[in-house]
């Protein structure tokens, strides 16, 4: 894409009301726009990153048997009354509204109730189980405060998968597969080194839930971490009893701040019982379906990647989710030779299917360099009068900072390697 066509502009100063470094950088670089506290527009560069994160998540959910749907955002209160979660005293993040006939509706904070109700049409026998159903869609949570930018939004994209099993043993098998899939997702987006399976509070039907927590100063959660054992405990369940159960000692755990990037939960029959989601087992006996839920917020993942990978100049995207793979900078577009070589290289990259942002604008070299660092595309390639005399291009790798002069052919070969 030609940067002269990209409609967004960067800005030098971060908005004063943004505390989180991720929100500051994403706003400055024109990836997002704050519409109101906790609600962000994704602009083209941010949309591209989000789409890539979503693709990774979708692929891994399909790989473990997930079938994609899109559930309604508008929620029928009757379903939530059955599970006693309609009352604001029970669930305090509702956005509620009314139909014209004065009937209440809510905006989905999560979808256990509506998917359990919907599945009653499609599950009747043990032969219909197990099933795994997911969606990637916006959720709404009326947070009292929304100060962490995209890390805790009121309106946000979420992948939520729900599993439906015959019994606990069948749920356990999938739960372990989901854990592996989550690790694979965080590996692919570049977060796995600092992301840990974390024991968190369970519910009526399970002692613990599991979070995936990424160690990061900006995190709102506190966890107790053993890097050696690759495990952590959320502060909310950090007790002597839990330590004993998990075979951990206080001395081997460090207290760190972390961002919850994923959450998986054994729901048991908490939702299926009140909503009447049952099946006939092999003995002809009707039993409630055993459920699990598995969430990841792609926007929060994006913000977490920025929190982890940036420097004083800007963001540093992993190749897997970068908005473009290559940022091609032509210094002085009015130099005919420069324009000609840059155009040619741009055409070659397009032909090879290498996603490129081509800075063809008539602005100073300093502006181009500063914006390239801010936007943080993995490979910055400069074509200028200076590089032309050497018959090379200047290649800078944003992550390592390493700069080299290479012939276009040598660099393209390296890119394809």
Which chain residues interact with a second copy by CB under 8 A? Answer: 5-9, 11, 30, 33, 35-36, 38-44, 47, 50, 65, 67-76, 95-100, 105, 107, 114, 118-119, 121-124, 128, 131, 133, 138, 140, 142-144, 154-155
Minimum distance of a second copy from residue 279's CB (angstroms): 13
- 41 vs 244, which CB is nearer to a second copy? 41
The CB-of-202 to a second copy minimum distance in angstroms stands at: 27
What is the rounded distance in angstroms from the CA atom of residue 376 to the CA atom of residue 397?
10
Using DSSP's 3-state secondary structure scheme, residue 254 falls into: strand
Nearest approach, Cβ of residue 402 and a second copy (Å): 32
Write down the least CB distance from residue 236 to a second copy, Å: 22
Specify the residue, 43 or 342, whose C-beta has the smaller distance to a second copy. Answer: 43
- Of 25 and 118, the one with the shorter C-beta distance to a second copy is 118
C-beta closer to a second copy: residue 56 or 123 = 123
The number of beta carbons lying within 10 Å of the beta carbon of residue 340 is 13
**Which of 65, 253, 249, 39 is closest to 153 using CA atoms?**
39
What string of DSSP letters covers 350-394? Answer: HHTT--EEEE--SS-HHHHHHHHHHHT-SEEEEE-HHHHHTT-EE
The residue among 148, 147, 160 whose CA lies nearest residue 291 is: 160
Q: Least distance in Å: CB of 135 to a second copy? A: 9
Own/partner long-range contacts of 395-401 (Cβ < 8 Å, ≥24 apart): 398/316, 398/317, 398/373, 399/309, 399/316, 399/318
- Return the residue matching tokens 């693709």: 55
> What's the order of all strands across the beta sheet hosting 356-359?
356-359, 326-330, 379-383, 393-397, 403-406
Residue 70 or 251 with smaller CB distance to a second copy: 70
Residue 116 vs 232, nearer CB to a second copy: 116
Residue whose C-alpha is closest to residue 49's, from 35, 79, 29: 29
Q: Tell me how far, at minimum, the Cβ of 191 lies from a second copy, in Å.
A: 22
Q: Is the Cβ of residue 75 or residue 384 nearer to a second copy in the bound state?
A: 75
CA 273 to each of CA 118, 259, 289: distance values in angstroms, whole numbers, following the listed order: 14, 33, 8
Q: Which two tokens stand for residue 376?
A: 């943080």
Q: Is the peptide bond before 173 cis (omega within 30 degrees of 0)?
A: no
CB of 223 to a second copy, least distance (A): 27
| C-alpha–C-alpha distance, residues 225 and 388, integer Å | 52
Residue 40 or 411 having the CB closest to a second copy: 40
User: Minimal distance in Å, beta carbon 221 to a second copy?
Assistant: 21
């Amino acid at each position: 894409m030609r940067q002269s066509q990209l409609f967004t502009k960067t800005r030098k100063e971060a908005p004063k009301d943004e505390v989180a470094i991720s929100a500051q950088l994403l706003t400055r670089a024109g990836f997002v726009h704050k519409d109101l506290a906790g609600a962000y527009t994704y602009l083209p560069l941010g949309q591209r990153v989000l789409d890539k994160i979503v693709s990774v998540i979708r692929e891994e959910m399909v790989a473990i048997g997930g079938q994609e749907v899109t559930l309604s955002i508008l929620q029928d209160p009757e379903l939530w009354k059955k599970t006693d979660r309609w009352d604001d005293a029970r669930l305090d993040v509702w956005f509620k509204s009314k139909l014209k006939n004065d009937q209440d509706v809510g905006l989905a904070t999560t979808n256990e109730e509506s998917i359990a109700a919907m599945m009653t049409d499609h599950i009747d026998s043990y032969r219909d189980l197990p099933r795994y159903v997911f969606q990637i869609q916006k959720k709404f949570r009326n947070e009292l405060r929304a100060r962490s930018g995209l890390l805790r939004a009121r309106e946000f994209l979420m992948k939520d998968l729900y599993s439906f099993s015959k019994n606990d043993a069948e749920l356990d098998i999938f739960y372990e597969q989901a854990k592996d899939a989550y690790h694979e997702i965080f590996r692919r987006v570049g977060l796995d080194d600092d992301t840990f399976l974390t024991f968190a509070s369970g519910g009526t039907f399970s002692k613990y839930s599991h979070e995936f927590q990424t160690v990061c100063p900006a995190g709102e959660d506190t966890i107790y971490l053993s890097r050696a054992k690759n495990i952590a405990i959320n502060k909310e369940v950090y007790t002597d009893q839990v330590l004993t159960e998990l075979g951990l000692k206080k001395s081997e755990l460090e207290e760190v701040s972390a961002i919850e990037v994923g959450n998986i939960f054994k729901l048991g029959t908490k939702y299926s019982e009140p909503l009447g989601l049952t099946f006939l087992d092999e003995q002809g006996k009707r039993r409630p379906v055993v459920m699990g839920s598995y969430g990841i917020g792609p926007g929060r993942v994006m913000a977490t990647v920025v929190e982890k990978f940036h420097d004083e100049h800007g963001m540093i995207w992993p190749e897997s989710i970068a908005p473009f793979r290559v940022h091609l900078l032509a210094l002085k577009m009015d130099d005919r030779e420069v324009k000609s070589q840059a155009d040619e290289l741009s055409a070659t990259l397009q032909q090879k299917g290498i996603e490129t942002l081509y800075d063809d604008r008539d602005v100073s070299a300093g502006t181009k360099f500063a914006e390239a660092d801010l936007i943080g595309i993995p490979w910055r390639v400069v074509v200028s009068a200076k590089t032309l005399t050497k018959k090379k291009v200047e290649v800078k790798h944003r992550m390592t900072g390493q700069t080299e002069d290479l012939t276009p052919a040598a660099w393209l070969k390296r890119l394809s390697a």
